[in-house]
Amino acid sequence: MKRWIALLAALLPLQVLALSGEEVMKKSQAAFLYPGKDFKARVLMKLVGRDGQERVRELTMLRKNAGAPGGEQKYFMYFFQPADVKDMTFMTYKYPAKDDDRWLFVPALNMVKRIAAQDKRSSFVGSDFTYEDVSGRDLEDDSHAIEREEKLGTRDCYVVKSTPKVGDAEFGHKLTWVDKANFLPLKEEQYDKRGAKYKLFTADEVADVKGTPTVIRRTMKNLQSGHRTEVTYLKSDYDLGIEDSLFTERFLRQPPRKWID
Protein backbone atom coordinates (compact mmCIF):
# COMPACT_ATOMS: atom_id res chain seq x y z
CA MET A 1 0.00 0.00 0.00
CA LYS A 2 2.78 2.43 1.00
CA ARG A 3 4.50 1.56 -2.23
CA TRP A 4 1.37 2.45 -4.22
CA ILE A 5 1.10 5.78 -2.48
CA ALA A 6 4.75 6.54 -3.13
CA LEU A 7 4.27 5.61 -6.76
CA LEU A 8 1.17 7.77 -7.03
CA ALA A 9 2.95 10.65 -5.37
CA ALA A 10 5.77 10.28 -7.88
CA LEU A 11 3.41 10.16 -10.81
CA LEU A 12 1.02 12.92 -9.81
CA PRO A 13 3.24 15.92 -10.33
CA LEU A 14 4.29 14.42 -13.64
CA GLN A 15 0.68 14.06 -14.65
CA VAL A 16 0.06 17.67 -13.73
CA LEU A 17 3.21 18.87 -15.50
CA ALA A 18 2.98 16.62 -18.53
CA LEU A 19 3.28 18.62 -21.70
CA SER A 20 1.37 18.08 -24.89
CA GLY A 21 3.16 17.77 -28.22
CA GLU A 22 2.01 21.32 -29.06
CA GLU A 23 3.46 22.70 -25.84
CA VAL A 24 6.79 20.95 -26.32
CA MET A 25 7.12 22.35 -29.84
CA LYS A 26 6.11 25.80 -28.67
CA LYS A 27 8.78 25.76 -25.98
CA SER A 28 11.24 24.36 -28.49
CA GLN A 29 10.47 27.15 -30.96
CA ALA A 30 10.99 29.72 -28.18
CA ALA A 31 14.31 28.14 -27.17
CA PHE A 32 15.64 27.55 -30.68
CA LEU A 33 14.40 30.49 -32.76
CA TYR A 34 13.31 33.22 -30.38
CA PRO A 35 15.76 33.53 -27.46
CA GLY A 36 16.76 37.07 -26.51
CA LYS A 37 15.24 40.29 -27.76
CA ASP A 38 17.72 40.11 -30.60
CA PHE A 39 20.51 37.85 -31.81
CA LYS A 40 23.62 38.11 -33.91
CA ALA A 41 25.85 35.39 -35.35
CA ARG A 42 28.62 35.05 -37.89
CA VAL A 43 27.44 32.01 -39.83
CA LEU A 44 29.71 29.69 -41.77
CA MET A 45 27.88 27.24 -44.02
CA LYS A 46 29.77 24.43 -45.63
CA LEU A 47 27.93 22.74 -48.49
CA VAL A 48 29.45 19.31 -48.97
CA GLY A 49 28.62 17.20 -52.02
CA ARG A 50 28.58 13.42 -52.07
CA ASP A 51 31.92 13.57 -53.88
CA GLY A 52 33.33 15.69 -51.05
CA GLN A 53 33.43 18.97 -52.99
CA GLU A 54 32.96 21.87 -50.58
CA ARG A 55 31.44 25.27 -51.09
CA VAL A 56 31.38 27.92 -48.42
CA ARG A 57 28.71 30.51 -47.67
CA GLU A 58 29.62 33.00 -44.97
CA LEU A 59 27.26 35.60 -43.61
CA THR A 60 26.33 37.67 -40.63
CA MET A 61 22.81 37.04 -39.44
CA LEU A 62 20.92 39.49 -37.28
CA ARG A 63 17.50 38.76 -35.85
CA LYS A 64 15.11 40.89 -33.88
CA ASN A 65 11.86 39.77 -32.28
CA ALA A 66 8.86 42.07 -32.46
CA GLY A 67 7.22 40.52 -29.41
CA ALA A 68 6.69 37.19 -27.72
CA PRO A 69 8.00 33.86 -29.08
CA GLY A 70 5.91 32.79 -32.05
CA GLY A 71 5.38 36.40 -33.12
CA GLU A 72 6.88 38.55 -35.87
CA GLN A 73 10.60 38.62 -36.47
CA LYS A 74 12.95 40.58 -38.66
CA TYR A 75 16.08 39.07 -40.16
CA PHE A 76 19.03 40.87 -41.74
CA MET A 77 21.81 38.98 -43.48
CA TYR A 78 25.05 40.24 -44.95
CA PHE A 79 27.12 37.94 -47.17
CA PHE A 80 30.92 37.71 -47.08
CA GLN A 81 31.29 34.62 -49.24
CA PRO A 82 31.25 33.40 -51.98
CA ALA A 83 32.99 36.24 -53.79
CA ASP A 84 30.27 36.76 -56.38
CA VAL A 85 27.71 37.63 -53.69
CA LYS A 86 30.04 39.57 -51.40
CA ASP A 87 28.33 42.64 -49.92
CA MET A 88 24.93 41.29 -50.84
CA THR A 89 22.34 41.85 -48.14
CA PHE A 90 19.05 40.11 -47.58
CA MET A 91 16.19 41.12 -45.34
CA THR A 92 13.15 39.16 -44.22
CA TYR A 93 10.09 40.20 -42.27
CA LYS A 94 8.71 36.97 -40.93
CA TYR A 95 5.06 36.79 -39.96
CA PRO A 96 3.26 33.95 -38.26
CA ALA A 97 0.67 32.34 -40.56
CA LYS A 98 1.48 34.61 -43.51
CA ASP A 99 4.08 34.67 -46.31
CA ASP A 100 7.31 36.48 -45.47
CA ASP A 101 8.31 39.79 -47.02
CA ARG A 102 11.81 39.54 -48.51
CA TRP A 103 14.16 42.10 -49.97
CA LEU A 104 17.49 41.59 -51.66
CA PHE A 105 20.20 44.16 -52.26
CA VAL A 106 22.36 43.46 -55.32
CA PRO A 107 25.59 45.44 -54.83
CA ALA A 108 26.80 45.12 -58.44
CA LEU A 109 23.76 47.11 -59.61
CA ASN A 110 23.23 49.00 -56.34
CA MET A 111 19.66 47.79 -56.54
CA VAL A 112 17.10 46.76 -53.93
CA LYS A 113 14.36 44.42 -55.03
CA ARG A 114 11.53 42.65 -53.35
CA ILE A 115 11.52 38.94 -54.01
CA ALA A 116 8.63 36.50 -54.15
CA ALA A 117 8.63 34.17 -51.19
CA GLN A 118 5.69 31.84 -51.22
CA ASP A 119 7.78 28.68 -51.03
CA LYS A 120 9.22 28.47 -47.53
CA ARG A 121 10.46 24.96 -48.25
CA SER A 122 12.87 26.14 -50.91
CA SER A 123 16.59 26.00 -50.31
CA PHE A 124 18.34 28.78 -48.43
CA VAL A 125 21.31 29.97 -50.57
CA GLY A 126 21.59 26.55 -52.19
CA SER A 127 22.14 24.73 -48.90
CA ASP A 128 20.26 21.72 -47.53
CA PHE A 129 18.48 24.06 -45.11
CA THR A 130 15.22 25.52 -46.30
CA TYR A 131 14.02 28.99 -45.36
CA GLU A 132 11.73 27.20 -42.95
CA ASP A 133 14.64 25.35 -41.37
CA VAL A 134 16.44 28.66 -40.84
CA SER A 135 13.64 30.82 -39.48
CA GLY A 136 11.11 28.22 -38.41
CA ARG A 137 7.94 26.61 -39.63
CA ASP A 138 4.58 27.89 -38.44
CA LEU A 139 3.61 25.63 -35.54
CA GLU A 140 -0.05 25.90 -36.53
CA ASP A 141 0.73 24.26 -39.86
CA ASP A 142 1.27 20.90 -38.16
CA SER A 143 -0.34 18.84 -35.45
CA HIS A 144 2.20 17.70 -32.86
CA ALA A 145 2.10 14.54 -30.75
CA ILE A 146 4.64 13.14 -28.32
CA GLU A 147 5.54 9.75 -29.75
CA ARG A 148 7.80 8.67 -26.92
CA GLU A 149 10.46 9.87 -24.52
CA GLU A 150 14.00 8.57 -24.85
CA LYS A 151 17.63 9.39 -24.31
CA LEU A 152 19.65 10.83 -27.15
CA GLY A 153 23.23 10.32 -26.02
CA THR A 154 23.14 11.58 -22.47
CA ARG A 155 20.16 13.90 -22.93
CA ASP A 156 16.58 13.07 -22.03
CA CYS A 157 14.35 13.96 -24.94
CA TYR A 158 10.76 14.16 -26.05
CA VAL A 159 10.28 12.67 -29.48
CA VAL A 160 7.56 14.70 -31.17
CA LYS A 161 5.85 13.74 -34.38
CA SER A 162 4.66 16.73 -36.42
CA THR A 163 2.25 16.11 -39.27
CA PRO A 164 1.07 18.83 -41.66
CA LYS A 165 -2.60 19.63 -41.22
CA VAL A 166 -2.92 20.39 -44.91
CA GLY A 167 -1.22 18.07 -47.39
CA ASP A 168 2.22 19.16 -48.57
CA ALA A 169 3.82 18.27 -51.89
CA GLU A 170 6.84 16.45 -50.50
CA PHE A 171 6.82 16.78 -46.74
CA GLY A 172 5.05 13.88 -44.99
CA HIS A 173 5.94 14.31 -41.34
CA LYS A 174 8.90 14.91 -39.07
CA LEU A 175 10.20 13.56 -35.81
CA THR A 176 11.95 15.98 -33.47
CA TRP A 177 14.09 15.02 -30.49
CA VAL A 178 13.56 17.91 -28.07
CA ASP A 179 15.90 18.18 -25.08
CA LYS A 180 13.76 18.01 -21.93
CA ALA A 181 16.09 20.32 -20.03
CA ASN A 182 16.49 23.23 -22.46
CA PHE A 183 13.95 22.40 -25.20
CA LEU A 184 16.48 22.67 -28.00
CA PRO A 185 15.87 20.34 -30.94
CA LEU A 186 18.81 17.95 -30.93
CA LYS A 187 17.76 15.89 -33.89
CA GLU A 188 15.10 16.02 -36.52
CA GLU A 189 14.14 13.47 -39.13
CA GLN A 190 12.04 14.61 -42.06
CA TYR A 191 9.98 12.03 -43.90
CA ASP A 192 8.44 12.31 -47.33
CA LYS A 193 4.88 11.40 -48.27
CA ARG A 194 5.72 7.73 -48.67
CA GLY A 195 7.24 7.59 -45.22
CA ALA A 196 10.86 7.49 -46.40
CA LYS A 197 13.35 9.44 -44.32
CA TYR A 198 14.95 12.04 -46.60
CA LYS A 199 16.48 14.70 -44.39
CA LEU A 200 18.32 14.55 -41.11
CA PHE A 201 19.06 17.50 -38.86
CA THR A 202 21.48 17.20 -35.97
CA ALA A 203 22.50 19.77 -33.37
CA ASP A 204 26.20 18.93 -33.11
CA GLU A 205 27.25 21.40 -30.44
CA VAL A 206 25.33 23.39 -27.87
CA ALA A 207 27.05 26.22 -26.03
CA ASP A 208 26.01 28.63 -23.35
CA VAL A 209 25.76 32.16 -24.77
CA LYS A 210 24.92 34.80 -22.15
CA GLY A 211 23.14 32.11 -20.14
CA THR A 212 21.14 30.86 -23.13
CA PRO A 213 21.81 27.36 -24.46
CA THR A 214 22.48 27.87 -28.16
CA VAL A 215 23.05 25.41 -30.98
CA ILE A 216 26.34 26.65 -32.41
CA ARG A 217 27.03 23.73 -34.77
CA ARG A 218 24.41 21.93 -36.78
CA THR A 219 24.16 19.72 -39.85
CA MET A 220 21.40 19.09 -42.32
CA LYS A 221 21.91 16.04 -44.47
CA ASN A 222 19.90 15.09 -47.50
CA LEU A 223 19.76 11.31 -47.15
CA GLN A 224 18.63 10.79 -50.71
CA SER A 225 21.33 12.82 -52.49
CA GLY A 226 24.08 12.41 -49.89
CA HIS A 227 24.61 16.18 -49.93
CA ARG A 228 24.98 17.87 -46.57
CA THR A 229 25.34 21.32 -45.09
CA GLU A 230 27.33 22.00 -41.94
CA VAL A 231 26.65 25.26 -40.17
CA THR A 232 28.87 26.83 -37.55
CA TYR A 233 28.05 29.96 -35.59
CA LEU A 234 31.47 31.54 -35.15
CA LYS A 235 30.28 34.37 -32.95
CA SER A 236 26.87 34.44 -31.32
CA ASP A 237 25.42 37.04 -29.01
CA TYR A 238 22.07 38.07 -27.58
CA ASP A 239 20.43 41.34 -26.54
CA LEU A 240 22.75 43.71 -28.35
CA GLY A 241 20.12 46.43 -28.69
CA ILE A 242 19.71 46.16 -32.48
CA GLU A 243 17.53 49.08 -33.56
CA ASP A 244 14.39 48.58 -35.62
CA SER A 245 15.76 51.06 -38.14
CA LEU A 246 18.44 48.54 -39.17
CA PHE A 247 15.77 46.57 -40.99
CA THR A 248 15.17 49.23 -43.63
CA GLU A 249 16.23 49.94 -47.20
CA ARG A 250 18.73 52.53 -46.00
CA PHE A 251 20.84 49.94 -44.23
CA LEU A 252 20.13 47.20 -46.73
CA ARG A 253 21.99 49.43 -49.19
CA GLN A 254 24.65 50.50 -46.71
CA PRO A 255 24.97 47.90 -43.97
CA PRO A 256 26.54 49.45 -40.85
CA ARG A 257 29.96 47.96 -40.07
CA LYS A 258 29.23 47.70 -36.35
CA TRP A 259 26.46 45.20 -36.99
CA ILE A 260 27.92 43.04 -39.71
CA ASP A 261 31.46 42.38 -38.48
- Give the shortest CB-52-to-other proteins separation in angstroms: 13
- CA dist 60 and 255 (Å) reads 11
Residue 170, Ramachandran bin (φ over 0: left; ψ between -120 and 50: alpha; else beta)? alpha
Pick one of 7, 119, 204, 210: the residue that binds other proteins (CB under 8 A): 119
Nearer of residues 113 and 210 to other proteins, judged by Cβ: 113
Binding residue (CB under 8 A) for other proteins from 12, 115, 181, 207: 115
Identify the DSSP state of 19: P
In angstroms, what is the minimal distance from the CB of 83 to other proteins?
A: 3
State the Cα–Cα distance between residues 150 and 166, nearest whole angstrom: 29
CB under 8 A: which stretch of 65-73, 102-110, 158-166, 212-220 binds other proteins?
102-110
Size of the site for other proteins (CB under 8 A): 37
**CA-atom Rg of the chain in angstroms:** 20
Q: Is 99 in the site for other proteins (CB under 8 A)?
A: yes
Return the residue of 7, 18, 66, 108 that touches other proteins, per CB under 8 A.
Answer: 108
Greatest Cα pair distance, the chain, in angstroms, is 80
Return the residue of 109, 153, 194, 211 that touches other proteins, per CB under 8 A. Answer: 109
Q: Is 177 exposed, middle or buried (0-12, 13-18, 19+ CB in 10 A)?
A: buried
Does 249 participate in binding other proteins (rule CB under 8 A)?
yes
Stretch (H or E) spanning 145: strand 142-152
How many other C-beta atoms can be found within 10 angstroms of the C-beta atom of residue 53? 9
Contact region for other proteins (CB under 8 A) — 78-86, 135-143, 193-201, 209-217? 78-86
Which residues on neighbouring strands pair with residue 17, listed in sequence order?
Answer: none
Please give the residue ranges that form the binding site for other proteins (CB under 8 A).
Answer: 47, 49, 55-56, 81-84, 86, 99, 101, 108-111, 113-119, 121-123, 125-127, 227, 245, 248-250, 254, 256-257, 261
